[in-house]
Amino acid sequence: MSQSLIRAIASRKNQLGFGFFSRFSNSRHFHSQWPITAPKCSTPSSLGSSRRFSGNLIPELNHTCLVRQTNGFCSVSLSEVSDSNLVSEGETIDIEDVGPLDKKKPMVVYKKPIDFTKIEAKLLPTVMIIGRPNVGKSALYNRLIRRREALVYNTPDDHVTRDIREGIAKLGDLRFNVLDSAGIETEVSSGTILGRTTSMTANVLARTQFAVLIIDVRAGLHPLDLEVGKWLRKHAPQIKPIVVMNKSESIGESLAEVASEALALGFGEPTAISAETGLGMTALYEVLHPLLEDYMVQTLNDRCSQDDVTSEENLSEEDESKLPLQLAIVGRPNVGKSTLLNALLEEERVLVGPEAGLTRDAVRVQFEFQGRTVYMVDTAGWLERTERDKGPASLSIMQSRKSLMRAHIVALVLDAEEIIKSQRSMTHSEVVIARRAVEEGRGLVVIVNKMDCLRGKQNSEMYKKIKEAVPIEVQTVIPQITGIPVVFISALEGRGRLQVMNEVIGTYKRWCSRLSTGRLNRWLIKVMSRHSWKDFASQPKIKFFTQVKARPPTFVAFLTGKTQLLESDIRFLTKSLKDDFDLGGTPIRIIQRSVLRTSPSGKSSGGTANRTGGPARQRTTSDKRTVSV
């Protein structure tokens, strides 16, 4: 039977697409390679590593071939389909394991509709909001991200937004990266603040895919809007922006007039919205959805390959296994906070300059450092709030305080020049920042910036004195925590960048550290023995010591008896914990709880059995409930 089958296959060798080989050199089976093609083949997925070819493979026999992989070879099982008199049981012939047939993986092809909620943030399209000043860009940004993060204030003669803010927009089931930009004015000099913000907007716009051009419907089509349109064609010719008419909640018949005027921009039909009230968000969704969906289909299909297909489950597990770090850069105005952020990112991300109070918004930036996700926030200069501080200045102070409370690690930036002039390391406002960070339970890192100003032989002695005196003074002013890391850098030159991040990561690890109860109690025995107690009778009896939470490390001391730990005892335990377990730069909290002693009869000696002073009741137990007698 086998030899007849081989002769039949050899006669039709031009119709089959894989080769047959002999497994044994002296076998009676065929030993040459014949090309074979199956005209009607189906490979059901339920077979796993096997392949079933059904159809008119050999017209004389009308069999079904089942190809299985076996130790570098393939076995073909022939089973009868229509003629039961020919073969009662399947016969197996060894053939060559064909690489492309078994190793080829199915290619994933993305089609519409796309679920934007299941896509990674780094793959989402980017939409930038642009326009002339005071048209409602920040208000639309807050509406899209569903939070009030960007400062919004009615200042026709001034610019509130100066930096590029980034967030994840949530418009229905759409998800995309949205950027809030400063107002564009094309006729300003390059050295001014507006000139620098416009050039920074142009640099970021070159890396975006879509843009939303906002005009004020109340003012109609302003000449500056036409200038912005020309500027956009010059700096981003690949982007066709979506024209949006903002502040249209109270406009009636004149809306059609403004819409016809907006056609002069040459970007198509405008969409009427109101960022303040949410009017027109459905119309904006209908305009954005097909554009973003087409972009995502093309991006995902270009990124997807046969050998590199990652599942969403693995991505979510990796994201949950390592929590990102929240870092807030705080300090007084004009100490180099924004310059430090640009140095850490190694790019011009935020606006910098010699002007004090240049930063207004708390800019949040995400980047990767040594495989860890870090969210870094550049805050405005910290000032004490007064009655005269109104408008954007007052809002900036409030936003800086909120950023400090949300952070895990606080980087307090000091100015080396101010230290030399004032002959002290920290001013009153900087001490307030540090103490508030400690009270909120945040890790603290002190950074002394502008050390490049102390170069030269005449400043060498001053340089040494600052490096020796600042850590001591910082520890004296902030006695709540010990071992605060102090880093001396020059953000303008980029020196000390890695040292800053290493100290931040080290402080974060100590801030998240956990100690086992057994290790703590063994440590407690040694510590209590070396502490000098005034009176042995007044020494508190700590039954056991345990850590109940991290971030920051919090411990509970269970005491027996009525004696409580004094403030000096708590400071001694805190200092010992930081010295013995390397917990410097992180606040440590110790809570004490009393454990009542139990008498041999099972009653607690510290409790009161009869609070009302009446006759005591005896309780007898039954099978179902307790009965009072």
141 shares its domain with 285: yes
Length in residues, the chain: 629
The band of 11, judged by pLDDT with boundaries at 50, 70 and 90, is low
Q: How far is CA 541 from CA 129, 515, 567, 597, 602, in A?
A: 64, 21, 16, 12, 21
pLDDT of 105 strictly over 70: no
The domain total for the chain is: 3
3-class SS of residue 246: strand
**Same structural domain, 446 and 550:** no
Residue 410 near residue 330, CB atoms below 8 Å: yes
Residue 228's CB is within 10 A of a number of other CB atoms, namely 24
Instruction: Looking at the structure, tell me whether residues 503 and 571 fall in a common domain.
Output: no
Same domain, 440 and 527: no
* pLDDT value, residue 564: 83
Q: Which carries the bigger pLDDT value, residue 209 or residue 357?
A: 209
What local confidence, expressed as pLDDT, does residue 231 receive? 92
pLDDT at site 18: 42
Q: Is residue 573 part of a domain?
A: yes
Residues 492 and 378 reside in one and the same domain: yes
Structure tokens at 561: 């008896």
Write the CATH number for 213.
3.40.50.300
**358: pLDDT confidence band, cut at 50, 70 and 90?**
confident
- Asked if residue 237 is part of any domain, the answer here is yes
Could you give the count of Cα atoms lying within 13 Å of 24 in the half-sphere of its Cβ?
A: 5
Domain enclosing residue 566, as ranges: 517-531+538-595
Q: Report if residue 110 sits inside a domain.
A: no
68 falls within a domain:
no
**Do 264 and 223 fall into the same domain?**
yes
Instruction: Find, among 244, 213, 186, 200, the residue nearest to 128 by Cα.
Output: 213
Q: Do 439 and 411 share a structural domain?
A: yes
- Do the domain assignments include residue 174? yes
Verify that 588 and 454 share a domain, yes or no: no
**What one-character DSSP code corresponds to residue 318?**
H
Shared domain for 254 and 337, answered yes or no, is no
Let me know whether 430 and 573 are in one domain: no
Cis peptide before 552 (omega within 30 of 0): yes
CATH of the domain at 545: 3.30.300.20
Name residue 542's amino acid. Answer: I
Model confidence band, residue 558 (pLDDT cutoffs 50, 70, 90):
very high
pLDDT digits (tens, 9 = 90+) for 487-522: 999 999 999 999 999 999 999 999 999 999 999 999
Are residue 432 and residue 448 in the same domain, yes or no? yes
**pLDDT range class, residue 418, cuts 50, 70, 90:** very high
- Of 454, 478, 512, which one is at a domain's C-terminal end? 512
Q: Would you give the end-to-end CA distance of the chain in angstroms? A: 97
Q: For 134-180, what is each residue's pLDDT tens digit?
A: 899 999 999 999 998 888 877 665 678 888 899 999 999 999 999 99
Give yes or no: residues 288 and 223 share one domain. Answer: yes
**How much of the chain exceeds pLDDT 70, in percent?**
71
As given in the structure block, the two tokens for residue 592 are: 């004490």
Q: How many CA atoms lie within 13 A of 225 on its CB side?
A: 25
